[in-house]
Amino acid sequence: MDGRKYNDTKYGKQKRSIRKLRFTTMQKVALGFFGVIFLGGVLLWLPACNQKPIAFFDSLFTSVSAVCVTGLVTVIPAEQFTLLGKIILMLLIQIGGLGVIACTMAFFLALRRKITMKDRVMIQQAYGLDTLTGLVRFVIRILKGTLLVEGIGAILFSIKFVPEYGLYRGIGYGIFHAISAFCNAGIDILGNNSFIDYASSPLINFTTMFLIVMGGLGFPVWHNIRVNTQKVWRGKEPKARLWSRLGLQSKIVLTMTAALILLGTVGFFLLEYNNPETMKEFSAGQKLMASAFQSVTTRTAGFAAVPQSELTEGSRLLGCILMFIGGSPAGTAGGVKTTTMAMLLLTALSVLRGRKDTECFGRKVDDTIVRSGITITLVTFLFWLIGIVVITVLESGRDYLNIMYEATSAIGTVGLSADLTPSLTRGSQVVLMVLMYIGRIGPMTMALVFAGKARAGAQFRELPEKRIMLG
């Protein structure tokens, strides 16, 4: 056999193997979430988990909302579930927030099972890492960091809840809501008003915002910040270089997160300042705090400090935009992600400036990343649009903006509701379940799971170049 032909054949086999492995990983992520959802639905359906009878559909919907860390519900968890049911609900939220792969690896580590190369590749692909080394330590740090942040949140929540509900119940409420906030789930067990009764409590508001932001940054950003902070702390790098030494993704995530929180806070403050149904009776400080809370929670958390159904139309539209963007990759948040939106904005800016490449912080962004960002946004938009159209057809006479708010909340895995979800028909609730599932595993993953296999050599094919008119 000719040497070149042999090498080409060998290379082709390697590429096919890689494609197959990636496809399998995506399938495992999708099926893993589906399996946990179904099991959770069965467990929440059991009589021991319920204070009153529940339809299997409602238990399944609650499980979807918990595992997909969304927060939309058809029943009131505080009134529906027993202590056992609330514990199962909390575990589903934790699994959904950390991800099936991370939880599986944690289970393997607890059993002292050897982490194989295949397992390491899954971890690498799930978190978008560049190397196969140190992945087990990375997962361990994720678990430790999660427990630390959730523990801090639980203690702070308990300071408020223990005097109100007693020692054991107050601590339990603190743990549950710390996990729900960090995982960006937005499910509460306080009643039917979310955190509206605590709108004037700085402790509850700022603790919740802290947990939401920490969960939404993404675990790779955590890792990057930790590594660089340790170098500065040990004197290996000067403090002035802490920002410059951060990776490009970390810089984009931190910049976009700060910008979106600030813009959202200002927007909600102006739009709701004189709204008698939300913030009009608040003091100036309380209005600013409530606006910041609303800005942060629309980034896929789902807790509410003001009634969402009473927001102005402008606020609901702003909320839809923030929910659609969501948090950051490889974290507990949903949405198209901050990095995706940053790539789109930077690409548009580069085109307007007449530049060939997408540039950010003195670096060129790979064209494949830009293409992926465009694809993710378009696919998400199509799923979102189809969902809105179907619900609108099924729910004739409903306010269109409220339907859009609910659908955006579902696909962004947010959970904020204009009090619409419980009153929808079963068909519309099924649509919301599908949107929540797609939003959690990612529209790209969903599309690729059902996509056909790429043809051999398709990536190496060169076609004649032609121009078309745009705009």
Total count of domains within the chain: 1
Residue 255: count other Cβ atoms within 10 Å of its Cβ. 14
The reply to whether 220 falls in a domain is: yes
The reply to whether 270 falls in a domain is: yes
pTM score: 0.86
Question: What per-residue confidence (pLDDT) applies to 396?
Answer: 85
pLDDT band (50, 70, 90) for residue 14:
very low
The reply to whether 11 falls in a domain is: no
pLDDT band (50, 70, 90) for residue 51:
very high
CA distance 291 to 268: 5
Q: Check if the beta carbon of residue 416 is closer than 8 Å to that of residue 302.
A: yes
Question: What per-residue confidence (pLDDT) applies to 324?
Answer: 92
Q: What's the pLDDT tens digit per position in 217-274? A: 888 888 888 888 888 787 777 777 778 888 888 899 999 999 999 999 999 999 999 9
The reply to whether 211 falls in a domain is: yes
Q: What's the pLDDT tens digit per position in 372-426? A: 888 888 988 999 999 999 999 999 888 889 999 999 999 998 988 888 999 999 9
| Residue 77: its H or E element | helix 77-80
The reply to whether 10 falls in a domain is: no
Q: What's the pLDDT tens digit per position in 197-213? A: 999 999 999 999 999 99
Question: What per-residue confidence (pLDDT) applies to 236?
Answer: 74
Question: What per-residue confidence (pLDDT) applies to 6?
Answer: 46
Q: What's the pLDDT tens digit per position in 316-357? A: 999 999 999 988 887 777 888 888 899 999 999 988 888 888
Q: Check if the beta carbon of residue 302 is closer than 8 Å to that of residue 415.
A: yes
Percent of the chain with pLDDT over 90: 45
Question: What per-residue confidence (pLDDT) applies to 443?
Answer: 66
At residue 16, does pLDDT exceed 80?
A: no
The reply to whether 276 falls in a domain is: yes
CA distance 261 to 323: 12
The reply to whether 457 falls in a domain is: no
Domain region containing 193 = 18-450
At residue 361, does pLDDT exceed 90?
A: no
pLDDT band (50, 70, 90) for residue 360:
confident
At residue 452, does pLDDT exceed 60?
A: no
The reply to whether 459 falls in a domain is: no
